[in-house]
Amino acid sequence: MKLFERINIGSLQLKNRVVLAPMGTTTDHTYGFNTRDIDYYGERAKGGCGLVLTGAVVCSEEFEPAPCQKLTSVKDVYMLHQVAERVHCYGAKFGIQLSPGIGRMNWIDPKTPPYSSSPCPNYYNPDLICRELPTDGVKRLIKAMGYSAKLAKDAGVDIIEIHAYGGYLIDQFNSSRWNHRTDEYGGSLENRMRFMMEIIKEVREACGRDYPIAVKMTLDSVDDPERPLEEGLEIARTLAESGMVDLIHFGRGAYSCRWRMVSSVYQPEGFDLEAAEQIRAVTGDLPLMAHGKLNHPDAAEKALQDGKVDLIAIGHGLIADPHWANKVKNGQIDEINPCIGCGECHFNSMKGWPRPCAVNPVSMHENEYVLTPAKETKKVLVIGAGPGGMKAAITAAQRGFDVTLWEKKERMGGAMAAAGAPDFKKDVNAQVEYLIRQVKKYGVRTELGKTATIEDVKAFDPDFTVVATGADPIVIPVPGKDKPIVSLAIPVLLKEQEVGQKVVVIGGGDVGCELSVALAQSGRQVTIVEMMDRIMARGGSFVANEQNLRYLVSHSDIDIRCSARLTEILDDGVVAVIDGENVTIPCDSVVFAAGYRANHKLYEDILDAGYECVQIGDNVKPGKIIDAISQGYNYIRVLE
């Protein structure tokens, strides 16, 4: 496979073309690298990556508080060197993404106007107008980038990737939308690029002619005017012709269409590759790297074989499975723990968490959450084969417990199977299939079609029980709720229950919107009836996923009725109060997607019977896959 061929980036030779993509994250109170970083990056190197890149590392705190790791003095070298050493142990190369700052994207200090290329609204608080960086401050940042690059080189870092991407500070200078300066760093594209080009020159002078330098750049903003494609191609051409850059890492999108910039669950594999030929045409033989759901081995290999790119950057996929590269190389495709595209890693990092993962509870806890053999063979009963229940059962089997899994349906997967049913959510379905394979691989005793009662549990007499029975769907108690035209979202998504051509979906949350898009794509006429004043009003999901789902809804010809209270279901329609009036919406099918409610009765009965028992996932309260899988893993991990 071309994935595992060597490649030179300037003077640097990589053992293969698999790269841990740079992903931004918050860090601890020291703003430096720590022992968790050593373990995290080291595990991806151990897993077979040829190059391991960190997320953004800032060179200065003069104009903004550090939103991530910093590299501003010799004191910061100590831990960075240890990360580099760990990565090098496995034959991988190590690079950092170096940044002068994030400018208008700053969320660390929500009260102080940040600095940017010129006055413009802060992204998170548009009422906060950014201050223009003074010219002498721009020059100090350029010098700081060179100094930090030299510190990195001294720490054992093999390559610097300059962060000129994604609407952050360098990109704000490059963009005419945000850069209205009148000094030498504003005006024409050449002047707007001056900040970036002088940074590259400074880094080159600080690190030497033979030291590898990459640039991550925004090619275009796709569905936003922030960066026209022609301008992005000119930036790429300038970088290539400068002779100072050894690699271009390109991406697309803007914060207004974040799902083009950071992959969402709804995006197809390799979604940025469509622009590769255009950028290749202006950059010639300069190595190119792309990202964007390239954790699908066939798509990654084809991109290389077709000559679209020279390196494959994988971000979320390598959080989910740090050993992706070795598994692909060894033909163990079915053993890859697939990323589901939920964005919990990014979503929760923005809240200060240490890079969590919905399907890999060990992420950023590589040496803390290790499984140990069971000290005694306890009899473990897991009730419910959703993601949390399957993970608990798998983990119990891995530790050597005697484990039995009961599931009331004739299938495993729980609500997650329905979540992965639409064609645009194949990554979620891949995780369901992976968990089922793991249940079988570890020999978990499984009983399908088994509805658990307290009498069953008593007869089984377990030493430890995990209740993972999920939650019950909410059906709004209105006249007609039991009519034959009424269905529930999960059986409809799984195609276990058919609907007609004219469908009303009750509920405009994520499930209701996904169901509506799936039905619309199958040719149905769909109306969403939502009580709130807008769809997806409850939030709580990664912005890229939310934006992408809204995009799918808006491009699916779905009739949306918000601030609408359902009052009755008829034989051929529904009645809802909208703006104080009763409105009849004709349909031949009604599907409830109005949320879920946990049922704690079985759990409480088991506790009352004196058994040791825990509940996980939606059985605690309707939540997310990250909660279910993490709880399933960790409750069993610590079981003595």
Q: Give strand pairing partners of 575.
A: 568, 584
Q: How far apart are CA 567 and CA 144, in angstroms?
A: 64
Q: How far apart are CA 292 and CA 313, in angstroms?
A: 8
**∠ at Cα 518 (408, 431), nearest 5°?**
50
Q: How far apart are CA 429 and CA 413, in angstroms?
A: 9
Instruction: Check residue 97 and report its DSSP letter.
Output: E
Instruction: Check residue 296 and report its DSSP letter.
Output: S
Contact between residue 636 and residue 466 where contact means Cβ atoms under 8 Å apart: yes
Q: 243: exposed, middle or buried (C-beta count within 10 Å: 0-12, 13-18, 19+)?
A: exposed
CB atoms within 10 A of CB 612: 12
Domain ranges across the chain: 2-212+309-349, 379-472+597-637, 486-594
pLDDT the model gives residue 171: 97
Instruction: Check residue 113 and report its DSSP letter.
Output: P
Among the listed residues 265, 624, 612, the one whose alpha carbon sits nearest the alpha carbon of residue 414: 624
Q: How far apart are CA 347 and CA 258, in angstroms?
A: 12
pLDDT the model gives residue 100: 98
CB atoms within 10 A of CB 381: 26
Six token digits for residue 588: 């031949």
Contact between residue 628 and residue 387 where contact means Cβ atoms under 8 Å apart: yes
Q: 486: exposed, middle or buried (C-beta count within 10 Å: 0-12, 13-18, 19+)?
A: middle
Which residue shows structure tokens 């010639």? 284
Instruction: State which amino acid sits at residue 219.
Output: L
Instruction: Check residue 202 and report its DSSP letter.
Output: H
Contact between residue 18 and residue 53 where contact means Cβ atoms under 8 Å apart: no
pLDDT the model gives residue 618: 96
Q: How far apart are CA 552 and CA 558, in angstroms?
A: 10
Q: How far apart are CA 458 and CA 32, in angstroms?
A: 53
Contact between residue 152 and residue 206 where contact means Cβ atoms under 8 Å apart: no
User: What global pTM score does this model have?
Assistant: 0.96
The dihedral formed by the CA atoms of 368, 370, 376 and 381, expressed in degrees to the nearest 10 = 100
Q: What class does CATH assign to 486-594? A: alpha beta
- The three-state secondary structure class of 77 is helix
CB atoms within 10 A of CB 53: 26
Which listed residue (31, 40, 41, 168) is catalytic? Answer: 168
pLDDT per 10-residue tile (average), the chain, 640 residues: 98 98 82 93 98 97 92 96 98 98 90 95 94 98 98 98 96 96 98 98 97 97 89 97 97 88 92 92 97 96 97 97 98 98 88 87 95 96 98 98 98 97 96 98 98 97 98 96 97 96 97 98 97 92 92 96 97 96 97 96 97 97 95 98
Q: What class does CATH assign to 2-212+309-349? A: alpha beta
Instruction: State which amino acid sits at residue 595.
Output: G
Contact between residue 8 and residue 40 where contact means Cβ atoms under 8 Å apart: no
Q: How far apart are CA 120 and CA 106, in angstroms?
A: 12
Q: How far apart are CA 51 and CA 87, in angstroms?
A: 9
CATH number of 379-472+597-637, picked from 3.40.30.10, 1.20.1070.10, 3.40.50.720, 3.40.50.2300: 3.40.50.720
What angle do the packed helices 625-637 and 387-399 form, to 10 degrees? 20
**∠ at Cα 579 (577, 585), nearest 5°?**
45
For the chain, count helices (H), then strands (E): 21, 28
pLDDT the model gives residue 117: 98
Rounded to a whole number, what is the distance in angstroms from the first to the last CA of the chain? Answer: 45
C-alpha 532, offset from chain centre: 27
Q: Which residues of 441-479 are buried (b: 16+ CB within 10 A; e: fewer)?
A: eeebebeeebebeeeebeeeebebbbbbbbbebbebeee
Q: How far is CA 13 from CA 94, 158, 353, 482, 519, in A?
A: 12, 10, 34, 67, 50
Q: Give strand pairing partners of 576.
A: 566, 583
Q: How far apart are CA 496 and CA 413, in angstroms?
A: 14
Contact between residue 312 and residue 279 where contact means Cβ atoms under 8 Å apart: no
Catalytic residue check, 168 = yes
